Chain A
Amino acid sequence: MFLPRMTEIPPAVEISHLIKDFKTSFKRQPLRAVDDVSIRIMPGEVYGLIGPNGSGKSTTMKALLGLVAPTAGKCAIFGKDSMKVDSRNEVGFLPENPYFYKHLSGEETLKFYGKLCGIKGAKLRDRVKQLLELVDLSGASHRRIGGYSKGMLQRIGLAQALIQEPKLVILDEPTAGVDPVGSREIRDLIFKLREQGITVFLCSHLLEQVQEVCDHVGIIFKGKMIREGKLDDLIAIEDQTELILKDASPELVAEIAALVGKHAGAELISTGKPRTTLERLFLRETLKQESNN
């Protein structure tokens, strides 16, 4: 059970044993989009959910936002059940490939979402101005959204998600279809959020990006969570030990190499800078999963 204990701060996100089936067509076996996924994100963390397209990332997020009802399991935001409206007071959401009302300008869009959250008057004006500056759209604030580029849409979407100063931001593929420059801008924005102590839950299939910004990572594949943990732990190679030496002379390195040679079983693999990438980790884990099946 995930009832928050009184002494503990509730986690920003608590997904426990989430299962979601979709009916496909008549009398066919339902499609299991999410299979027993549990995620816990503590306040202030930046969590990246990675997985290929169709692996259940978006469904997990929608369940967390109450847009789909779990077949089994539970989702909660700051301890509040996702199926209840008040769980969404502290959350901002940027859907994948967001579209907004084309007939509104950027500024009107933010005002609309602000009013939905109960922000009014001068506070709303200030907040909208502040966010337009944050996402660098002040110049385009009076243009209709219909004329926005993909990157601008993504940024106004982010601003919209932040309108009520939520403590949790959920981003579904925030850089999908955005050019590298736009992508970098969005990454920088995520850094800014992290600095402000805002919890970020993002999903992406762009691993490099996740590696850059996230401190916790989950790998989801075919609806199942296959690896989860701190990024640093995950990309550490368990049967290897890293010695990081400062100002070591080539003689010292040679001596260490010789020492290693004396121990049976131990082996010096390289003396470079041992680092795997998230990408390699991801491929390794998914391949393992494939061969298990």
Chain B
Amino acid sequence: MNPVSTIKAIPGHVSRTSVIARHAFTQLVRMKVFYFLAFFAVILIASNFFNLPQHEGPESAGVNILRSIKSWSLGAMTLFSVVLSIVATALLLPKDVEDRTLYTILAKPVPRLDYLAGKLLGVLLLVFVSLALMDILMVGILQLRTNMVLTDQMAMAEARGWPAADIALLKAEILAQGPTASLQGAVFSVFLRSSIIASMALLISTFSSSTLFTTIISFLIYFIGHFQADARAAYLSGEAGTSDGILARGVTLLVSLVLPDFQLFNVIDSVIEGQVMPLFIVGKLTLIGLFYAIFYILASWFIFAEKEF
């Protein structure tokens, strides 16, 4: 018999996870990580107002500044999201253990899976909100600047008496460097990558002994993960080749099975350069991101479930 008291209702996983997520979000915000954002905004706006010295013929004038705005913005997003997802995730768990706040949380009816998922979602929520703010800023500036470039270039083309077909080509080319749907796909890819990194760091932090260890290992995996695709290609193409040693084959197989493929996210650079990112690619990347995030959360839970404090 379990007498139910008047004020409680047993909350579901979703609502409890979201309480922990919102709390982790507040915690990170109050750690002043948002100063990072302000810093970013200043750089971005600065890159908009100064025309960097470079070579520009009258026909390419301005298109470079558009690419530069995108490079700065997505570069800052990359740095911010990778550093934040690793450091914040590596920090949150040990901090709770060290401060013994974890005792008070786990002494409430909170399943450990909810706790882990909440912490991870809190980090991701912060990354998402930050990226969204940066994205808005980037799109705003890019739109302004694209309009300026377009006006200048159209005037130039008309002054030179270009045929209509050539003007249309020029216009399309400038617009392709402006705020496109593919650019949004790239920003979303930054977020997806960040969710893979954060969930991976979460798994590492469940068995690592220190924040520093988690951080270093996560960064290492992040960098080596960029070469997973090469290891995979080497392994898969090595089937016929007899020159590959067994050891080399084993290593390439191991690397491709254990490490996430971060090279996939180099699409971000291609999009900055003006390539089009089809929707189905975004969809497939999302699937990959979800697969990793869910797998790593479950694996973290597996380790964390019987951990003693």
Interface residues of A (CB under 8 A from B): 9-10, 62, 65-69, 78, 80, 85-86, 88-93, 95, 97-101, 103-104, 112-113, 115-120, 123, 127, 157, 160-161, 164-165, 167, 170
**Chain A residue contacts of B106, Cβ below 8 A:** 65-67, 88
Interface residues of B (CB under 8 A from A): 1-3, 5-11, 15-16, 19-20, 23, 26-27, 30-31, 99-101, 103-111, 306, 308-309
**Is B11 a contact partner of A99 (Cβ separation < 8 A)?**
no
**Is A165 a contact partner of B31 (Cβ separation < 8 A)?**
no
Known: A88-B108, A160-B104. Is A167-B8 also a contact (CB below 8 A)? no
Residue in A68, A85, A97, A101 whose CB lies within 8 Å of B109: A85
Known: A69-B308, A117-B11, A117-B109. Is A95-B104 also a contact (CB below 8 A)? yes
CA of A78 to CA of B15, assembled, Å: 26
B interface SS class = loop
CA of A84 to CA of B9, assembled, Å: 18
Residue in A68, A89, A99, A103 whose CB lies within 8 Å of B30: A103
**Is A69 a contact partner of B20 (Cβ separation < 8 A)?**
no
**Is A112 a contact partner of B109 (Cβ separation < 8 A)?**
no
Residue from B15, B20, B111, B308 whose CB has the most chain A CB atoms within 10 Å: B308
**Chain A residue contacts of B104, Cβ below 8 A:** 93, 95, 98, 100, 113, 157, 160-161
Closest chain A residue, CB of each to CB of B107: A93
Q: Could you write out 7 A-B pairs with CB less than 8 Å apart?
A: A10-B1, A62-B309, A80-B2, A88-B109, A90-B5, A97-B100, A103-B30
CA of A259 to CA of B5, assembled, Å: 59
A interface SS class = loop
**Chain A residue contacts of B19, Cβ below 8 A:** 112, 115-116
CA of A227 to CA of B19, assembled, Å: 43
**Is B5 a contact partner of A164 (Cβ separation < 8 A)?**
yes
Residue from A80, A103, A123, A161 whose CB has the most chain B CB atoms within 10 Å: A103
**Chain A residue contacts of B111, Cβ below 8 A:** 85
Known: A85-B111, A103-B27, A116-B19. Is A167-B105 also a contact (CB below 8 A)? no
CA of A119 to CA of B9, assembled, Å: 7
CA of A90 to CA of B27, assembled, Å: 28
Closest chain B CB from A99 CB (angstroms): 4
**Chain B residue contacts of A115, Cβ below 8 A:** 11, 15-16, 19
CA of A100 to CA of B26, assembled, Å: 14
